[in-house]
Structure 1
Amino acid sequence: MVTNPQRRLTLVDAAIEVLARDGARGLTFRAVDAEAGVPKGTASNYFANRDDLLNQAAERIHLRVSVGDADDTETDPRTRLTHFMRLLLHRISDDRTGWLALLELRLEATRRPELRAKLTKTLRENLDANVEGRRQGGLPGDDLTTVLLYYAMTGLLLERLTLPDVLAGVDLDELVADFVRRCLPHE
């Protein structure tokens, strides 16, 4: 296996582009090579097999769409949570390709047990990190609040990135604020 980290990253990002555009069935080493603009056979030198490429694409997508720590000086916890949720919406919307590739990987995981296990672990860790982040950040609500907001955002993002006209005329930032208001108990 070749170990040029930058070339590997370029190939994984190319795989994400192919997944988003052509679906999992269109993901071949040849398609990745063409998307990355590298000589034929390059991807096969970097990945043991297609499953290896799918697994590495799954890992990379989560890094690409991660919000990380929001730089927010807002002191009101509800406002901070709303700001974070809006940041998440825009961050993922800005990487439409990454999110669509993740959807393709989710579908492919229904047919590939190893990929299903990998995605399940990654998404579970992501959900757990969100729960812990809310706890550590002193944000309002409880663990169930975090889960409800997580899945509300997942549904919103699915709609926004696949059938955006369904939400035409809807102020998404205000919708996100409504998610937060309705999920949090009134004080």
Structure 2
Amino acid sequence: MVRNPQRRAALVDAAIEVLAREGARGLTFRAVDAEAQVPTGTASNYFADRDVLFTQVGGRIYQRLEPDAALVATRLAGPRDREQVAHLMRDLVDRVTAFRSGYLALLELRLEATRRPELRAVLTRTIRADVDANITYHLDSGLPGDATTVVLLYLAMNWLIVERLTLPDVFTEEQIHELVTAVVERVLPAEGTDGVHDDRPAGSAKNLRK
């Protein structure tokens, strides 16, 4: 049977919504068909089993989270300094949280991966490749910091996103942006400090706004 790539993508997008809303147990072929508004049995014609559907969802989420090339180019047109890194991190947090269902679905996938070795292997490869790509991009772009800087920012931004999406009343939007800036200021030394971090209080950066 010749399968339609657009239909497959629509089914995976529907699976993301189901996974975010209903959790792993709710991700059934019937639920995906209903979400995609297609005849019952359509999803089972495209995916051999739920394991395949889980792995397809993981790949699709990362595809949809790719940053806009024009925005990144605009950001990097200015100085390659600590303030620019803070801008990029705020862009990151805003972009990812704008795709709320995608990130929540990814959290569900991470939990499900603790019970499915094949899914864990796929997610491990995907996320490790994403981290490596971000390290390479950061270093090649001339932004300040090293590989460890990128990993520390990755870990901090991920938990800020989790907090923002799952318990949005813990911190206000303004506080989230101030925290992003504070993380960057503490991870990256200020220029001319010879490795000594600038300890200005959170929110003191010129631009508070990913």
Larger Rg: 2
Distance 1:14 1:173 in 2: 31
- Hey, what's the Cα distance between the residues in 2 that align with 1:44 and 1:35? 14
Relative to structure 1, is the Cα distance of residues 169 and 118 closer, same or farther in structure 2, using a 3 angstrom cutoff?
Answer: closer
Q: Could you tell me how far apart the structure 2 residues matched to 1:169 and 1:67 are?
A: 21
Question: Aligned pairs, how many?
Answer: 187
**Unpaired segments of 5 or more residues in structure 2?**
193-210
SS in structure 1 of the partner of residue 3 of structure 2: coil
Inter-partner Cα distance in structure 2 for 1:36 and 1:169: 32
Contact 2:113–2:120 (Cα < 8 Å) also in 1: yes
**Partner residue, 2:204:** none
Q: Does residue 143 of the first structure (1) align with residue 139 of the second (2)?
A: no
Whether 1:84 and 2:82 are equivalent positions in the alignment is no
Structure 1 partner of 2:201: none
**What does residue range 55-74 of structure 1 map to in structure 2 within 5 Å?**
55-67=55-67, 69=69, 70-71=72-73, 72=75, 73-74=77-78
Q: CA contact under 8 A between 2:80 and 2:144: conserved in structure 1?
A: no
Conserved 8 A contact 1:2-1:45: no
The structure 1 residue matched to 2:169, chosen from 150, 165, 169, is 165
User: Aligned partners of 1:137, 1:76: CA distance in 2, in Å?
Assistant: 8
TM-score by length of 1: 0.95
Aligned counterparts of 1:59 and 1:162: Cα–Cα separation in 2? 22
CA contact (8 A) 1:17 1:98 kept: yes
Deviations 1:55-104 (A, max 9, x none): 10000001112225413222242222111111111100110000000000
Gap change, CA 1:169 and 1:122, over 3 Å in 2: closer
Alpha-carbon shift at residue 171 of structure 1 (Å)? 2.4
Q: Which runs of 4+ in 1 moved over 6 A?
A: none
Aligned to 1:52: 52
Unaligned regions of 5+ residues in structure 1, if any? none
Residues 65-74 or 142-151, more deviating: 65-74
Does structure 1 conserve the Cα–Cα contact (< 8 Å) formed by 2:100 and 2:165? yes
Distance 2:126 2:133 in 1: 10
Task: Find the counterpart in structure 2 of residue 28 from structure 1.
Answer: 28
CA contact (8 A) 1:61 1:98 kept: yes
CA RMSD of the aligned region, Å? 1.3
Stretch of structure 1 that moved more, 32-41 or 83-92: 83-92
Structure having the larger proportion of residues in helix = 1
TM value normalised by structure 2: 0.85
Is residue 98 of structure 2 the alignment partner of residue 94 of structure 1?
yes
**Identical-pair percentage:** 59
Q: 1:92 to 1:127 in 2, by over 3 A?
A: same
Query: Hey, what's the Cα distance between the residues in 2 that align with 1:119 and 1:76?
Result: 32
Aligned to 1:167, what secondary structure does the other structure show?
coil
Letter in 1 for 2:177: D
Structure 1 residue identity aligned to 2:33: D
* Residue from 150, 154, 158 that aligns with 1:154: 158
